[in-house]
Amino acid sequence: MLIGESAALITAFCWSFGSILFTIGSTRLGSVVVNRIRLVFAFILLVPTNFILTGQLIPLSASAESWFWLGLSGIVGFTLGDTMLFQAFVMLGTRITMLIMSLVPVIGAFSAWVFLGERLSVLEIASIAIVIGGISSVVILRHIESEQTNRRHMILGIFLALGGAMGQAGGLILSRKGMTGDLSALSANVIRVGVAMITIWLATLFMGKVKYTIGRLSDKKGTLVTFAASVMGPFLGVWMSLVAIKYAKIGVASAIMALPPILILPLVYVAFKEKVSRGAIIGTVVAVGGTILLFIGK
């Protein structure tokens, strides 16, 4: 059975639908508030699920090393990376932001080259160039097509999306390092979400924003959408992504999980009535194709 590959495909669909929901939630509640609330929702869902499947509410049997790397992964991926990602959703829109997130595998390959001394082949370098070229063409087209675009606003959104991509790439690498022994992907996600939740709420308490954050729950539609996004994102989506990297080669899993920019094209039309030009579609397909080619090369 292709457990890892199937999990990666489920992940791609979850992240596609989840990104739409997170965009709506962040627009109504604010990106930082959404990140705080969705981690609580995800943890509430994960703990009983972990108990049913493993017999433990919290995976205390995991080694200290696993707790360290997975906890750090949660902080890098959920607390830091996703805070920037959700604000990018608001500033750039779902489609452009998720396209920039296609850089996650590229960032991973570049990091391995810089920090681990892994050599990049000619095909891998060409693939990276294709991904960057495809993304750049779509971003430039978006700027040209919209006369209302505020340049500073757009540049900030791009940097936030890049920060989200780096957070996700770093989170995956750290997660893989922490998933040692027979620790299940579900238990690993409990640790990641739990540590990230504690970290972000301690920061919220320090900033005196707890009352404000809880008060935002009065927006019932925003809260409901955020809950649904939490199911698709940190609960099911991230769980399946950890299953994918545990049972499939990271290259294959990453290539499949890079599909959301294509899957999301019809979704943004339905959800936001956003018309997508032929050039933008071609640029998106080129960028995703480059991502897949990168891992075929590996």
- Across 227-237, b (16+ Cβ under 10 Å) vs e yields bbbbbbbbbbb
* Residues 18, 240 contacting (CB under 8 angstroms): no
Which residues does 115 contact at the CB level (< 8 Å), separation at least 6? none
- In the chain, alpha helices (H): 3-29, 31-54, 64-74, 82-92, 94-100, 104-115, 122-145, 151-178, 185-206, 210-215, 220-230, 236-247, 250-257, 260-272, 278-297
pTM: 0.82
Each residue of 168-179: pLDDT tens digit?
888 878 888 888
pLDDT of residue 47 exceeding 60, the answer is yes
> Where residue 116 falls among pLDDT bands split at 50, 70, 90?
low
Res 228: pLDDT = 95
Band (pLDDT 50/70/90 cuts) for residue 106 is confident
Q: For residue 263, what pLDDT is reported?
A: 79
Q: What is the pLDDT of residue 224?
A: 96
For 145, the 3-state DSSP assignment is helix
Tokens of 195: 């540590």
Which residue range(s) make up the domain with 280?
A: 3-297
Q: What is the mean pLDDT of residues 191-213?
A: 95
The yes-or-no verdict on residue 82 having pLDDT over 80 is: yes
- Give per-residue pLDDT as tens, 228-285: 999 998 899 988 988 887 787 766 677 777 778 877 888 887 878 777 777 777 877 8
Q: What is the dihedral of CA 207, 210, 212, 218, to 10 degrees?
A: 160
pLDDT at 132 over 80: no
Is residue 109 within 8 Å of 128, Cβ to Cβ?
yes
- 4: confidence class by pLDDT, cuts 50, 70, 90: confident
Rounded Cα–Cα distance for residues 17 and 185 (Å): 22
Kindly state the tokens that stand for 80.
């830091």
Range with top average pLDDT, 7-11, 129-133, 149-153, 209-213: 209-213
pLDDT at 196 over 90: yes
Q: Residue 248 class from Cβ within 10 Å (0-12 exposed, 13-18 middle, 19+ buried)?
A: buried
| Number of structural domains found in the chain | 1
Q: pLDDT tier at 20 (50, 70, 90 boundaries)?
A: very high
DSSP-derived secondary structure letter, 60: T
